[in-house]
Structure 1
Amino acid sequence: MDVAELRQRLEHEPDALPLPERLLTAKLSPDFSLVEHALAWQDAASHHHILCPQDALYPSLLLQINDPPPILFAKGDINAMVHPSIAMVGSRAASQSGLAASYQLAQELAAAKVAVISGMAAGIDGAAHQGVLDMDGVTLAVLGTGIDVVYPKRHKPIYEKIQQRGCVLSEFWPQMKPYAGNFPKRNRIISGLSLGVLVVEAARRSGSLITARLALEQGREVFAVPGNILAGDHQGCHDLLRDGAKLVECAADIIEEVAALSKFHLEELHRRHHIGEELASDLPFASLLASVGYEATPLDVVVEHSGKTIELVLEQLLELELQGWVSAVPGGYIRLKRS
């Protein structure tokens, strides 16, 4: 549609919003130099990826939010986005107890084969990523900068290690420097990628509460860690708890809450990411194995999803457990490894 056609259409649509003259006369053409730069970045290394919503590996949960990013730059193991994930956010100027809680909870989630998503910021974010990395777990970082810009710079080691055990993501073009407005914008991706958001430590005006609000708008679960009532650095968490967020003392408090959501997430992953294709015919009880997630999957869910009798399911689960494919845990079974 050219400018003349746009003017004519606006004249016949009096309810349309008025557009400034400079927008009507602007040349609305893409900057192909940026496109070429992005494609060159993707071709520079095998672990560089560009994803659009139409791609099979574009995160399923992210497609459910109102404004999914039209493009995602990813650096690292792209399959990390397949794991059921919990977001962990909190204060940049965290207390020592807040940092310790973030680190411990991240380790517990990693031990339960749940991926942890955060923003690689100072404070709670960095402690969460480090806790997962020290457990050789899976973690994802959503940046408020370009994919190749490390902020804060002291998190360069975390940035590099995340790519080995997870993935770094950004919707911003490579080389984009830190800009204050981009960090709240990226929060919708942190919450959108996750089954739920855990706020570890947050004052009443903390930016982490933006992520919690977005999580509620996106239909995600919200969790919060309580703190000392005499300290002001937990007031935001206490407000969330007062408004209905679930109190968290250990990772089990989170896992039991999102178990049902994980079932639907698993089914969606099977449909969009073709996980079933990884279950080759020579794997033991492939159809049953496909029914066990990387989080605690209740026995009744395994039975329903597999379509087998409970007697046969229990017999085959025991065989899978002996071979190291699954493990019995409180609340059901979890899958331990991929094919």
Structure 2
Amino acid sequence: MQEHFHQESADLASWLRLAMTDGVGPVLARRLLSVFGLPGNLWQADAQAIREVVPAPVAASLLRAPTAQQCERIAATLAWVQVPGQSIVTLADAAYPPGLLQIADPPLLLYLRGNPALLARTALAVVGSRNATTQGVLHAARFSEELSRAGITIVSGLALGIDAAAHAGGLSGTGSTVAVIGTGIDLDYPQRNRALAQRIAEGGCIVSEYALGTPPLAANFPRRNRIISGLSRAVLVVEAAAQSGSLITARMAAEQGRDVFAIPGSIHAPLSKGCHQLIRQGAKLVETTQDILDELPAWSVLSSQQAVVQEPSPAAVEDVDPASRRVLQSLGHDPVDADTLAQRCGLDAAALAGSLLTLELQGWVELLPGARYRRLV
């Protein structure tokens, strides 16, 4: 048993050394592995044979002995995987996510916290703006919760806004959630999602392709998007501006042969522009979780509670005071300023302000940037 443990550590150390070699990315790593087999064979290979496979500078890096710093990082990583709930899967492991094997540049290693079995389940990516509206957060949470209850694993990027809401919703069902991050898995980023990350590590799975200690470099986040889409059967974009990282994920999903879904919004809302752009380009417009499941017949079917955003019942409307009810009836889903709304409902500024505050606190309306209001339900 001890000998087997040492062999596993030696094998993983070879993978880590390859991943830490300057100039070796996923594409070159796969080329090397296709020629030499497992990384352990690479270090025994003839120098000329290596030079015939990769560019000279990369070959020189491979032929050098690991530095003291690399040895320390490898040792620290081998210690990290001994902690329960923490693991690494390599490209050669049977547990490597099958969806990632289908993309052009699958990561050489995946650092995991939580349940690795989630990476092989049927999954949907839910992505959107970090600066989400209240309505967008509500959509993300409800769609994710309903799909998770149908057995679909929710994949997202652990960012603020839509991502965080999607993860929280996913944790509410049996499908659970997978968070793909753009830093070392031992770092808490963003700090505001630290508690959520702990919940995911306990009930879902956190994934990173980056070595321990890797800081939040800007270039890493677009790259992690290919993993988000690669792990998923489809991508749902909830809210996105015209120039949004979520559109990168959607593009990667389309290139990987995945379906793309988008939730429409007001033509005046900046965070609906990206979704409308995707719909014009062929993404499927969705209003309920059943719209998604109907497009994917192999997926589990939801129970009778299919609607995600439900209209309030008449009794709920009647509970609102008459002035606020008049405001609500005058307020559409398109954003409107207070002066225009006052003209519509015939209230003075003080009465209107009181009604809007009441409706906002009760979750009926949302205050947007520029002192504009929008009805939520």
TM-score normalised to the size of structure 1? 0.70
Contact 1:86/1:196 (<8 A) preserved = yes
Where does residue 237 of structure 2 map in the other structure?
199
Contact 2:148/2:172 (<8 A) preserved = no
Matched, 1:40 2:85: no
Separation of aligned partners in 2, 1:78 and 1:200: 26
Task: Name which of 265, 268, 274 aligns with 1:236.
Answer: 274
Counterparts of residues 130-141 of structure 1 (less than 5 Å) = 130-135=168-173, 137-141=175-179
Where does residue 266 of structure 1 map in the other structure?
none
Which has the bigger relative contact order, CA under 8 A and spacing at least 6? 1
Contact 1:195/1:258 (<8 A) preserved = no
Q: CA deviation at 1:215?
A: 0.3
Decide whether aligned partners of structure 1 residues 207 and 28 sit closer, same or farther in structure 2, where only a CA change above 3 A counts: farther
Matched, 1:219 2:257: yes
Tell me whether 164-173 or 24-33 shows the greater mean CA deviation.
24-33
Where does residue 146 of structure 1 map in the other structure?
184
Contact 1:203/1:234 (<8 A) preserved = yes
TM-score normalised to the size of structure 2? 0.63
What are the Cα deviations for residues 161-181 of structure 1, in whole angstroms up to 9, with x where unaligned? 112221000001112111111
Contact 2:77/2:212 (<8 A) preserved = yes
Matched, 1:107 2:182: no
What are the Cα deviations for residues 181-239 of structure 1, in whole angstroms up to 9, with x where unaligned? 10001000000000000110001100110000100111111010101101111111101
Contact 1:107/1:131 (<8 A) preserved = yes
Counterpart amino acid of 2:189? Y
Decide whether aligned partners of structure 1 residues 153 and 328 sit closer, same or farther in structure 2, where only a CA change above 3 A counts: closer
RMSD between superposed Cα atoms in Å: 2.6
Separation of aligned partners in 2, 1:329 and 1:70: 42
Where does residue 122 of structure 1 map in the other structure?
160
Structure of greater Rg: 2
Counterpart amino acid of 1:36? A
Separation of aligned partners in 2, 1:249 and 1:240: 15
Q: CA deviation at 1:32?
A: 3.3
Where does residue 19 of structure 2 map in the other structure?
none
Separation of aligned partners in 2, 1:29 and 1:247: 54
Counterpart amino acid of 1:61? G
Separation of aligned partners in 1, 2:50 and 2:122: 48
Q: CA deviation at 1:81?
A: 1.8
Decide whether aligned partners of structure 1 residues 24 and 73 sit closer, same or farther in structure 2, where only a CA change above 3 A counts: closer
